[in-house]
Structure 1
């Protein structure tokens, strides 16, 4: 079950990051590029932070602490 949760979250983060990076790099409209860059920073920060918390929680559950 945990593998599906982690895999789904990873797929979502990768998809959103790829779309935001494409727009930030290749779209000619400056406001859209700026907004895509903000989204990219937000998703990378939240995705990696959430992933770390989820992994720590999973390891603590496996060793019997939680």
Structure 2
């Protein structure tokens, strides 16, 4: 169950980051590029933060602390 949860979250974060990076790099409209860059920063920050918290929670569960 944990593997599917982590895998799904990782796939979602990678897909959103790839789409936002594509728009930020290759779209001609400056407003859309700026908004895509904001989305990219938000998703990378939230995704890496959530991933770290999830991994700590899993380790605590494995050792019996949770």
TM-score normalised according to structure 1 size: 0.99
Q: Distance in 1 between matches of 2:51 and 2:21?
A: 20
Q: Distance in 1 between matches of 2:15 and 2:62?
A: 29
1:24 maps to which residue?
A: 24
1:13, distance to aligned residue in structure 2 (A): 0.1
Unaligned runs of 5+ in 2: none
> What is the RMSD computed on CA atoms of the aligned residues?
0.2
1:62 maps to which residue?
A: 62
TM-score normalised according to structure 2 size: 0.99
Question: Alignment length, in residue pairs?
Answer: 66
1:54, distance to aligned residue in structure 2 (A): 0.2
Unaligned runs of 5+ in 1: none
Give structure 1 regions of 4+ aligned residues with deviation exceeding 3 angstroms: none
Q: Distance in 1 between matches of 2:37 and 2:19?
A: 11
